[in-house]
Amino acid sequence: MELETFTAWKKHEADLRRCVVIDKTMPPNGHPFSEAERDVVRSWIDAEPAADASAVNADGTKGNALSK
């Protein structure tokens, strides 16, 4: 599953929500996510693309973090 762009995240939105947020089967054993990390993934799934590519992300970088 390619997840390098916002479009790819939206394409796989239902599967990602089920595997990461609901069933918690992703990532695989040995690479657990904290609840805070699952919350970040949930926010990515729920996000809309930035209208302005110069928008500032939560980490201080500019542009749509999901398109990097």
Domain boundaries, the chain: 6-67
Structure tokens at 12: 């796989």
- Please, what is the Cα angle at 17 between 61 and 29, to 5 degrees? 90
> How far apart (Å, rounded) are the C-alpha atoms in residues 24 and 55?
31
Instruction: Identify the pLDDT of residue 56.
Output: 57
Burial pattern 15-36, b for ≥16 Cβ within 10 A else e, equals: ebeebbbeeeebeeeeeeeeee
Task: Tell me what pLDDT residue 35 has.
Answer: 93
What is the pLDDT at residue 30? 86
- Residue-level pLDDT at 53: 52
Q: What is the pLDDT of residues 19-66, one digit of tens each?
A: 999 999 988 888 888 999 999 988 988 887 665 555 555 566 665 555
pLDDT given for residue 68 in this prediction: 44
Q: What is the pLDDT of residue 29?
A: 84
State both tokens at 2: 């390619």
